[in-house]
């Protein structure tokens, strides 16, 4: 359980404010990672700054049939209620938000010297504002300045980011390697009207990074 405390971070330098008691509770379970297929899952609940509760679920599955191949699939889902974040100046806002973070990773060894690695992670948040508060000039309680917010594009926001990479490595000789790396990444501007499917599609098809790099590292001499 958390005792009553003072928050000196959320306001980003605009005085401290009082945070009431809360807590964090978690249950986790995992299977034997030495097996061909292993998995893990965890559930937790945590009190937000103003007393409401948020819930988080995360899990993953690993498939490793031999030493040459492995595949990891994992996810994180968070439902935040009255999530408090800084807006501008001395104002902060509370949000009801859904946060997804799925990911995939793969390693394939063609030989002891040749490896192919793939990774992809998507981070997406849809947040709807519920209230706006002002941080007091002196230490104290937050001051509520709205009577509730509903579907206000001024405050609601989304985040959708994808990072994907495909990397090939060939060890030509000791301390000599050839790397071929393809990286694709995106950070989509807030699109409140879009659902999760559209947010994923837009992030996948509208990259801000789309780059292929070939690097040769070679050691001369003995």
Q: What tens digit of pLDDT does each residue of 97-126 get? A: 999 999 999 999 999 999 999 999 999 999
What pTM, to 2 d.p., does this model score? 0.86
- Which whole number is the average pLDDT over 63-69? 97
| Residue 160 CB neighbour total at 10 angstroms | 26
The pLDDT value given to residue 30 = 97
Q: How far apart are CA 11 and CA 17, in angstroms?
A: 8
Q: How far apart are CA 159 and CA 2, in angstroms?
A: 29
Residue with the bigger pLDDT between 221 and 157: it is 157
The pLDDT value given to residue 57 = 98
**pLDDT for 153 beyond 90:** no
The pLDDT value given to residue 1 = 56
Q: How far apart are CA 66 and CA 191, in angstroms?
A: 43
> pLDDT by residue (tens digit) across 155-200?
999 999 999 999 999 999 988 999 999 999 999 999 988 999 999 9
> pLDDT by residue (tens digit) across 82-94?
999 999 888 999 9
The pLDDT value given to residue 114 = 97
The pLDDT value given to residue 21 = 67
> pLDDT by residue (tens digit) across 126-150?
999 999 999 888 777 888 998 888 8
What value does the mean pLDDT of the chain take? Answer: 91
The pLDDT value given to residue 137 = 82
The pLDDT value given to residue 110 = 96
> pLDDT by residue (tens digit) across 17-41?
777 767 889 999 999 999 999 999 9
Unique residue bearing structure tokens 């300045």: 145
The pLDDT value given to residue 175 = 87
CB 165 within 8 A of CB 183: yes
The pLDDT value given to residue 200 = 95
- Between the alpha carbon of residue 70 and those of residues 33, 101, 109, 170, 200, the distances in Å are 12, 20, 9, 18, 25
**pLDDT for 64 beyond 60:** yes
């Amino acid at each position: 359980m958390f005792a009553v405390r003072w928050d000196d971070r959320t306001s980003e330098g605009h005085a401290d404010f009082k945070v009431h008691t809360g807590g964090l509770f978690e249950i986790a379970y995992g299977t034997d990672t030495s097996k061909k297929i292993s998995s893990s899952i965890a559930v937790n609940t945590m009190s937000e700054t103003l007393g409401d509760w948020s819930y988080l679920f995360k899990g993953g599955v690993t498939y490793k049939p031999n030493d040459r191949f492995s595949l990891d699939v994992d996810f994180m889902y968070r439902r935040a209620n009255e999530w408090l974040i800084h807006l501008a100046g001395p104002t902060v806002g509370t949000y009801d938000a859904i946060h997804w973070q799925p990911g995939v990773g793969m390693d394939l060894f063609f030989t002891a010297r040749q490896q192919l690695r793939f990774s992809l992670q998507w981070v997406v948040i849809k947040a709807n504002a519920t209230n706006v508060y002002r941080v007091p000039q002196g230490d104290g309680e937050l001051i509520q300045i709205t009577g509730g917010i509903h579907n206000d594009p001024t405050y609601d926001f989304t985040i959708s980011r994808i990072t994907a990479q495909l990397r090939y490595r060939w060890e030509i000789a000791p301390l000599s390697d050839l790397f071929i790396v393809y990286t694709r990444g995106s950070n989509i501007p807030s699109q409140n009207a879009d659902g999760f499917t559209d947010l994923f599609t837009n992030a996948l098809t509208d990259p801000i990074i789309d780059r292929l790099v070939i690097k040769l590292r070679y050691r001369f001499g003995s």
